[in-house]
Amino acid sequence: MDIKFAEESELSAVVVLFKEIVEKLSYYNEKAITNEISKYTKSELLTKIKEDPYSLIVAKNDAQVVGFCFSRMDDSLVWLEWFGVSEKARNQGVAKKLVRYLEDNLKNRDAHKIWCDCRTSNIKSANLLSSCGYLPICTLKNHWYGQDFILWQKEFSN
């Protein structure tokens, strides 16, 4: 398994995998699915990595993209936007490796904290975040797309 920052040549595969994963999310409503997919096009991801080469991490197995992690800078913090792993690569620790790679590169971005959210019903993400040392900050009821979310954070020393 190779975990690394994404290159332009990998973006089409990332977009396909992202769409495949998001379309199957039972805990996201239709509006959320449609809007989130529209935010992460090849063009948008290319802009993202040109502005911040640390913002997109991929997991590759035998030269095939099997996972991704999207993030962005937000006033000296990193906002972990999305992470996902293909069905065939799940239960192999890929998501945790993606999150750890993001954490290992915080100094490159001069960041001291990672924030993220997950749906309250997304038990797999909540368990992963908790196992990586993220702490829940609060629960936001009837928030993005009219759904409930948990906000998480993890602080790092510089």
Longest dimension (CA), the chain: 41
Query: Does residue 158 sit within a domain?
Result: no
What is the pLDDT at residue 107?
93
Q: What's the structural domain count of the chain?
A: 1
What is the pLDDT at residue 140?
97
What is the pLDDT at residue 127?
97
Q: Is 129 helix (H, G, I), strand (E, B) or coil?
A: helix
Query: Does residue 42 sit within a domain?
Result: yes
Query: Does residue 108 sit within a domain?
Result: yes
pLDDT at 153 over 80: yes
SS3 per-residue string spanning 6-72 = CCHHHHHHHHHHHHHHHHCCCCCCHHHHHHHHHHCCHHHHHHHHHHCCCCEEEEEECCEEEEEEEEE
Query: Does residue 102 sit within a domain?
Result: yes
pLDDT at 158 over 70: no
Query: Which structural domain, as residue segments, surrounds residue 73?
Result: 2-112
Query: Does residue 124 sit within a domain?
Result: no
Element (DSSP H or E) covering residue 128: helix 123-131
Query: Does residue 93 sit within a domain?
Result: yes
CATH code for the domain in which residue 81 is found: 3.40.630.30
Query: Does residue 63 sit within a domain?
Result: yes
Residue 85 CA to residue 133 CA, distance in Å, equals 20
pLDDT band at 157 (very low <50, low <70, confident <90, very high): confident
pLDDT band at 131 (very low <50, low <70, confident <90, very high): very high
At 74-114, the pLDDT tens digits run 999 999 999 999 999 999 999 999 999 999 999 999 999 99
At 29-79, the pLDDT tens digits run 999 999 999 999 999 999 999 999 999 999 999 999 999 999 999 999 999
Residue 34 CA to residue 86 CA, distance in Å, equals 19
Query: Does residue 31 sit within a domain?
Result: yes
